[in-house]
Amino acid sequence: MATQQKKTEAQEKWFEYYMLSGNAAKAAEFAGYGSPKQRGYELKNRFKKEIEEKQKSMIVDAVPGVIAKIIEMAQGAESEAVRLNACKDLMDRAGFKPIEKTETEITSTEAKTTEQLEQELADLTRTLQ
């Protein structure tokens, strides 16, 4: 965790309002700053690291409630589609997401001589006939 910068009372007020609203200009206006758009922009840049840390912390704190809501939907939603999607989401988050397989064929034609490429083309053409 990064060291928190010392904030004035107005900056602290701005920070708390910004974390709740996500609007830097309105937070600056709420904190009593003049030119709220400019000050909001400046404060957002100045406290960027702290904002990111606080946002991550808020998301982590919300996870148990979100999972409980998904479980509630999986068990009690009226719509079968909602129940199915909630179940799929729970399975994905539990690590049971189906593996998506793709095949990739890599060939290197840059390293081949013209004669080798012509031979390969002739072989492929013969196969098609």
pLDDT band at 127 (very low <50, low <70, confident <90, very high): confident
pTM above 0.95, yes or no: no
Query: Span 9-25, mean pLDDT?
Result: 96
Q: Give residue 2's pLDDT.
A: 52
12 versus 126: the higher-pLDDT residue is: 12
Delineate the domains of the chain, giving CATH numbers in brackets: 1-46 (1.10.10)
pLDDT band at 111 (very low <50, low <70, confident <90, very high): confident
Q: 86-115 in b/e burial notation, b at 16+ Cβ within 10 A?
A: beeeeeeeeeeeeeeeeeeeeeeeeeeeee
60-108 tens-digit pLDDT: 999 999 999 999 999 999 999 999 999 999 998 888 887 777 777 767 7
Residue among 100, 99, 108, 5 nearest 49 (CA): 5
Flag whether pLDDT at 50 surpasses 80: yes
